A = this chain, B = another copy of it.
């Protein structure tokens, strides 16, 4: 029941990028040094966030990364789903990546006891993370 380093690093990197939002770009090594993250690994994370539309980048000498969405419009839930996949503790209660359980005898049944409990957990997690914005996240610094 853990989040990966990827998510953790990604959030910490975004924290740095929030600090220069609207201003200058940050280079991978700056972020990596300040946040203590292996630079080549960080790169993969930044690229994933870029592909997801959160970051822009410029190559070459004065290149680097910058946020292209306001910190108020990015939630922790979004970031974690990009880097770690769905939030749901079991896939039969995922809203973003539902999958019927193969072996569960209640799969066919109208109501699965496990599903009910896990659904509540999923909702609780999503409720917090999908309402926690980067701005709120960054301000408690």
Chain A interface residues toward B at CB < 8 A: 1-3, 8, 11-12, 15, 34-37, 76, 80, 84-91, 103-105, 111, 113-114, 116-118, 120-121, 124-125, 127-129, 132, 137-141
Contact = CB atoms under 8 A, between A and B. Distances in A.
A132 B132 CA distance: 26
Contact of A104 (B12, B91, B137, B141): B12
By Cβ-Cβ distance, the 10 closest A-B pairs, closest first, are: A124-B124, A36-B103, A113-B140, A3-B89, A113-B137, A120-B128, A117-B132, A121-B128, A116-B140, A113-B141
A116 B12 CA distance: 13
A35 B106 CA distance: 9
